[in-house]
Copies of this chain bind each other. A is one copy, B any other.
């Protein structure tokens, strides 16, 4: 008895002093290694293995070491104990073992087939951290960064196409993958690898929706480095950002789709309920995200008579900015909505309104911090994916399922990109060339989001098989397609080394001429968006930021008393010209562009746009992809895609 106590206390001591430090150290070590490798790669202009691929590789090696070097000291844990008294699993269990009460916390449900494979290696267990850390801590900075650094001008120019790819394309992809997988599952049942009741059609659709989240981090980083054609960049960036949001909401909707009787039969009511859920969740998340951003804008804009403005306390300002943005995510999750969608639109809105109210220091600081967090989170996730292949203990490798998934992913990507591009080209003035379509097809990598969705639920056998398959597809696409991006660009002869300023200058030149060439902007940004732009510029921007015309001049006269209170004093120096909406849009776009690509001076005639725009905040814009070197690709001057310039 005494001896046991001693043993327990020594164990406690041990527990006391290294809790979690070793695991964190391993991650730190992997990250340091990744950073050093990136440095090396940048120096040798090596572009066949991207940093994310490298991070994954290191994770893989480390996982291998942990798995086969550490032992399983916990022999007890393979045994299942009976407890007749319990009716269901409580969240906390108190157990009396040799006269000492121990507290145990509920972790998860285990399928019977896993019990024996359950090795109970404590080290492995510690390394497979809680999926909620992914969702609540690692993903938000990545998605927020995507929203906050969105190049609005190009985005809105291609909005129609982006929305089509993101909504319609993801739905197509989800259904195609679901159908193909259902075929493979049927085949597996036929040859006896699977029992019929384990895998419903809804499970296949679930898999389809999670595999539809593309993650072109690698491709976009290379595009950024090579200055690939802006339209292609924007199409891919916009598609992938929105597509993540759509895929997540879709996964959520499918997982709560519960037909009343036979899960294989089609239940119209349940289906429409799912569609309703999808729309409701998307709209709700959007509203949640933007309202948090509007609150941030209002707080940072506030100038009560007795109050020092918030921007005089940069620490508080930055703190509030990030905490409120994160709260947008968490509130949405807590309310049963989708945090990713909320934080994405929160980022977009913050960039649109709050950014203008920040002090110049804070502008720079928020951008840098956002980028830094994104950089760290991304590398942690990719390291972790590498680790998970060996440390996750309930993998189910089914070759047929994996092969089926690979086929399904490509067929789905093809039936998303090509038909939709064809349809879009019917309506677009600037067609999406074939080469762009091939490149988009090629850039359908799967990454963090697919992984995060798959790891969220690994309780049952089908879910474990999905997780393993998703992980392998991520590896395959990141290494093969990520590495193949540069050769593919050369092969498709896509324009690289495009000077983003060139585009701007051409645009400025066309604008300074008295006859505005309305073709480009007007054709693409539909009437709905022109109305929105006008409304935003006349009412929302003056209300929420220091830019734009004073409300007194935009609101009807009887609103003057209210308008005077709501308008920033600094806005009065800046009377509204009687320009038409298109002009406002184009000016806005110009200003935005000068905000985003630093070294371009704001054109002199930009009188209605924001005068606060400084080029300073973007010093770090290219710091991950710098070096200033251009790839030795043939500049194909007279190509069809050249017409992306006005």
Contact = CB atoms under 8 A, between A and B. Distances in A.
Interface of A: 4, 7-8, 12-13, 16-22, 24-25, 28-29, 31-32, 35-36, 38-39, 42-43, 74, 76-83, 85-98, 100-112, 115, 118, 120, 122, 125, 130-133, 135-136, 252, 255-256, 306-308, 310, 312-316, 318-320, 323-324, 326-327, 330-331, 333-334, 336, 339, 361, 365, 368-369, 371-372, 375-376, 456-457, 459, 619-620, 623-624, 626-627
A83 B86 CA distance: 13
Nearest to A31: B323
Contact of A333 (B18, B103, B330): B18
Contacts of A334: 18, 21-22, 25
B327 A17 contact: no
Contacts of A97: 83, 86-89
Contacts of A19: 130-132, 135-136
A314 B80 contact: no
8 contacts: A4-B87, A8-B89, A19-B136, A32-B320, A38-B316, A43-B307, A80-B95, A361-B620
B371 A369 contact: no
Contacts of A255: 13, 16
A103 B95 contact: no
A94 B82 contact: no
A121 to B, nearest CB: 10
B456 A32 contact: no
Contacts of A112: 101
B8 A109 contact: yes
A28 B108 contact: no
Nearest to A627: B308
Contacts of A107: 92, 102-105
Given A21-B339, A106-B102, A310-B39, A459 B315 contact: no
B102 A77 contact: no
A123 to B, nearest CB: 10
Most B CB within 10 A of own CB, among A31, A79, A334: A334
B93 A316 contact: no
Contact of A103 (B79, B108, B624): B108
Contact of A372 (B86, B111, B315): B315
Nearest to A327: B28
A107 to B, nearest CB: 5
B620 A252 contact: no
Contacts of A369: 369, 372
Contacts of A323: 28, 31-32, 35
Contacts of A20: 130, 132-133, 136
Contacts of A108: 102-103
A515 to B, nearest CB: 45
A457 B76 CA distance: 25
A25 B624 contact: no
Contact of A25 (B25, B74, B330, B619): B330
A333 B24 CA distance: 11
A20 B35 CA distance: 30
Contacts of A130: 19-20
B115 A94 contact: yes
A92 B86 CA distance: 18
A22 B324 CA distance: 14
Given A21-B333, A81-B86, A375-B319, A457 B101 contact: no
B96 A80 contact: yes
Most B CB within 10 A of own CB, among A17, A24, A369: A17
A95 B76 CA distance: 12
A17 B94 contact: no
Contact of A331 (B25, B330, B624): B25
B110 A101 contact: yes
Nearest to A25: B330
Counting from the closest, the 7 A-B pairs by CB-CB distance are A19-B132, A21-B333, A104-B104, A76-B90, A25-B330, A20-B132, A89-B102
B12 A109 contact: yes
Most B CB within 10 A of own CB, among A12, A89, A122: A89
B336 A18 contact: yes
A379 to B, nearest CB: 8
A63 B103 CA distance: 23
A93 B89 CA distance: 12
Contact of A318 (B16, B28, B88, B372): B372
A78 B101 CA distance: 12
Given A16-B255, A35-B319, A109 B120 contact: no
B105 A83 contact: no
Given A32-B324, A371-B315, A81 B110 contact: no
Nearest to A78: B94
A7 B89 CA distance: 11
Contacts of A331: 25
Nearest to A21: B333
Contacts of A318: 372
A223 B78 CA distance: 59
A74 B92 contact: yes
A207 to B, nearest CB: 16
Contacts of A457: 12, 16
Contact of A106 (B104, B132, B459): B104
Given A86-B81, A97-B88, A109 B102 contact: yes
A86 B375 CA distance: 46
A307 B42 CA distance: 9
A152 B330 CA distance: 42
A128 to B, nearest CB: 12
Nearest to A99: B112
B43 A306 contact: yes
A125 B39 CA distance: 44
Contacts of A17: 252, 333, 336
A316 to B, nearest CB: 5
Most B CB within 10 A of own CB, among A39, A105, A375: A39
A310 B13 CA distance: 41
